[in-house]
Amino acid sequence: MHDESRRIEERVQRLHDQRIKTAVYAATVPFEVGAWQAPGEPVPFEEAAAASYEPFAMGTPWGPPWGTTWFRMRGQVPAEWAGKRVEAVIDLGFTGDWPGNQAEALVHRTDGTPLKAVNPLNQYVPIAHPARGGETVDYLVEAASNPDILADDFARPTPLGDKRTAGDAPLYTFRSADLAVLDEEVWHLDLDVQVLRELMLELGAHDPRRHEIAHALDRAMDLLDLDDVSGSAPAVREALKPVLSKPAHASAHTVSGVGHAHIDSAWLWPIRETKRKTSRTFSNVTSLAEEYEDFVFACSQAQQYAWVRDHYPQVWARIRESVEKGQWVPVGGMWVESDGNLPGGEAVARQFVHGKRFFMDHFGIETKGVWLPDSFGYNAAYPQIAKLAGNEWFLTQKISWNQTNTFPHHTFWWEGIDGTRIFTHFPPVDTYNARFSGEEMARAVRNYQEKGGASRSLAPFGWGDGGGGPTREIMERARRLANLEGSAKVVVEHPDAFFAKARAEYPDAPVWVGELYLELHRATYTSQARTKQGNRRSEHLLREAELWATTAALHAPDYAYPYEELDRLWKTVLLHQFHDILPGSSIAWVHREAEAEYARVARELRALITEALAALGTGGPRVFNTSPCDRAEVIRSADGTPAYVDVPASGSAPLTDARPPHPVTVDGRVLDNGLVRVEVAEDGTLASVYDLGARREVLAEPGNLLRLHTDLPNHWDAWDIDKHYRNRYTDLLDASSVTVVEQDPLLGAIRVERDFGKGSKITQTITVRAGSPRIDFETDIDWHESEKILKAAFPVDLRAAHSSAEIQFGHVQRPTHTNTSWEAARFEVSGHRWVHIGEPGYGVAVVNDSTYGHDVSRTVREDGGTTTTVRLSLVRAPRIPDPEADQGRHRFTYALLPGARIEDAVAEGYALNLPLRVAEAAGAPEPVVSVEGEGVTVEAVKLADDTSGDVVVRLYESRGGRATGVLRTAFPLAGAQITDLLERPLQDADLTGGGVALALRPFQILTLRLRRG
């Protein structure tokens, strides 16, 4: 037989694209359309319904950036269409090949009932099946003209990312709005041909099945009447039945399809638009559920459900109905799909607390798994946090984007820093927007790493980011691929069902230990520094508010614990931890609003803290310490005078001026407090840091070296930092002034000012305080650079085999060498409040109050000594998607801590982020709880969420070793229980001598519920 593959493939493609696809709609009549441009922000349906509509012709430009245009569409079903399947088909002028953020619309009946959305790949609205001739159709369509920020793959900066700079020129040209007859036989033929053709093209040239399909398609095309596609479609479909009905091989891979519509809670659109995206997508999904009984849709992010509940009650009612039928599946159990690295430990716990409670309260469902397909890496504490929240499985996808190394597993046990393991799956289809194309099915099988051990994977299917979610076409593909020779088998099912089968099939799956580091998007640890600082400040203010509110509730009978306020503020902070807000990868509008929200949150939390402390009574000034560690340090009183105070952990003390053992002396540019001697060079760097107790020089080279690098990654400016950034840089060594600005027995400070670049300026105040080896760098930057990154380097005379960086409820160790490609790929990493390096007998920590990105490297000097350098990433200047990202003022503090052990780094990390607070208070309440024993760190103190008055304490082992101790309370203790994160009892705690006995394994998290006597 001659090889006619090319002729057949080209023939099938042309006939499908030009004849079959174009005949799907057998007849059309246009709607009569009127338009009304909503002024400003979106308006309620009632306002739009009462508006005056002007006639609107097809082919007319419409839609200023971020605008809302309401269209009134009226039509009548022709009499001859009676008994047919009639739909509305609307093309708003969709552009590009991305079904996500661009023109989108929600179609309403005239009574305000939302029907269904219109999206680029989901343009129909069902009217009747069968239709009645003469039936009138009257719709109000809310159309959003969102700009396509992703156009040209982010090739250039755009002003469209903020309504203030986007202009008002129309973005789209309305193409068509029609009543149409869906020719179901042609529609099914279209899908038959698509599925077979795509399968054929993925099979090997020597695979008999490829040629069988090709010749079957060729013969079927002979039956297609080009002058009567509709009339000949049944015969063509009949001819294709034999190749569509051949069953898959017994050993074929099984793909569990789960409907999905990944909606970023903000990204290339503001939060206000996400609220509308959810209504549009969720109306599509509930409509599809009515059409396909076998449809299953998994949806995460409790916040998005709450928006629909509050703003679209009719869509909410349909969601509840679909949940009851088992077609709609709440998953993930988090308030939003948060970033996987940057939120603090307690914040990650609250993501689960608020998310899981929402699903239990509104649907009676406890989610069983973590659904985080798109976050930019996952911290090594996740397995324990997830399990303590009642989860059994973990799903992610983004690791497929690795720049250097291919992750070796798709189904595995993930082991966290404490030893907890959770069953984890990483879909080999390499997308969370699958459509069951032939290419996707082949890729899933080809990629799957577990061949021979397991035989199934999961594929989330549906168009995301406002693309409308799953479609009927995708469901039809799934049905055709359920059992088709040459392809993996598709079964649409609940993700819990997939994980149960996968675990039963592969109980001895391999183990991955430690963080799931994404070898890409490393700049998300640094971009949009003010957003990150807002998050860090909010997390710590929430801790303060809960502690002092609990203290007031225990000691002030008239004080009411602010349950509702704290719940609301937590949810605001959790929302902004979404994986495109906190990482700094959103448009300008998003980050502008985030900064305003953080400022509001801070004001409200400070007011709550002030109210709680005032409830303790008035009197002389007292110092309040929210940190879990005892503190003896220098603070400033109300008039700015420094004072040395000694305050217990989570407690208070009078503001008295005790005297430390050694005063601070200032001699020229040398600061000395008896613990460290710091010499500032003429250029403003640290010439020397001498540890007087250890009798050793800390620095191998000048410290606090500020280095400005050119920073233009290959792609994804706000997301990525590529290794070549290191090759071009300028050291900022020209200080315009180096001045002593404080000279007191309790503290000495030198201010260094630098001008550089395009009008940027840095002012740093280097401070040494009595009684502490910590050297602070209070930094004020007026930043006007473009495509740059600023780093601060501390080259330390240490041979450190690894660095330790704080993460949620513990820390991770990372090698300082680059023996393998896995180590070399970690050239930029994340950490929270501190980074520690050390050699036996000596260590140094770098502490910060709002930065996350850093790198640690090691070199050997000519004298044989080793220099280990810690460099903090301070601020970037990407231009896409926000052309003005990070421009303007930044204020933050970082610090060098010589002679530090891990426990010292922990303590100073809390101290820097939780400044001592001075307030007028007459009472001297004991700390609500105190811990006897080393290594046990209290992370949260609050009243139980059920308003019972029980006290909830969350603590963890922070050094990486075993810890024992006793938790004491300032109130009579009637009982204690160990609970999960949702404060549900697991077992009774052991009581000893009026306290709770503690025995923790390394990095173990423990939640205690304490009943008051």
Residue entry with tokens 């217990």: 648
From the list 21, 391, 374, the residue with the least C-alpha distance to 230 is 21
Dihedral over Cα of 444, 449, 453, 459: its sign: negative
SS3 445: helix
* CA angle, residues 16, 20, 21, in degrees to nearest 5: 85
- 640: Cβ–Cβ under 8 A, 6 or more apart, which residues? none
**Phi, psi at 278, each rounded to 5°:** -65, -40
From the list 797, 858, 790, 852, the residue with the least C-alpha distance to 824 is 858
How many residues can be counted in the chain? 1013
Cα(476)–Cα(471) distance, rounded to whole angstroms? 9
Cα(994)–Cα(229) distance, rounded to whole angstroms? 85
**Cα distance between the two ends of the chain:** 91
Answer yes or no: are the C-beta atoms of 961 and 981 closer than 8 Å.
no
* CA angle, residues 524, 528, 529, in degrees to nearest 5: 100
Answer yes or no: are the C-beta atoms of 443 and 260 closer than 8 Å.
no
- 968: Cβ–Cβ under 8 A, 6 or more apart, which residues? 929, 930, 931, 932, 994, 995
Tokens of 185: 């036989």
Tokens of 976: 């204690």
- 756: Cβ–Cβ under 8 A, 6 or more apart, which residues? 708, 730, 732, 734, 762
Cα(559)–Cα(1010) distance, rounded to whole angstroms? 20
User: One of 162, 183, 339, 374 is an active-site residue; which one?
Assistant: 374
Answer yes or no: are the C-beta atoms of 640 and 615 closer than 8 Å.
no
From the list 147, 148, 118, 136, the residue with the least C-alpha distance to 78 is 136
Answer yes or no: are the C-beta atoms of 546 and 566 closer than 8 Å.
yes
- Backbone Cα Rg of the chain: 31
Task: List, as one string, the DSSP characters of 255-311.
Answer: EEEEE-----SSSSS-HHHHHHHHHHHHHHHHHHHHH-TT--EEE--HHHHHHHHHH
Report helix, strand and coil shares of the chain as percent, to nearest 5: 30, 35, 40
- 50: Cβ–Cβ under 8 A, 6 or more apart, which residues? none
Residue type (1 letter), 219: R
Answer yes or no: are the C-beta atoms of 1006 and 1000 closer than 8 Å.
yes
The answer to whether residue 227 is catalytic is: no
Q: Which residues are catalytic?
A: 374
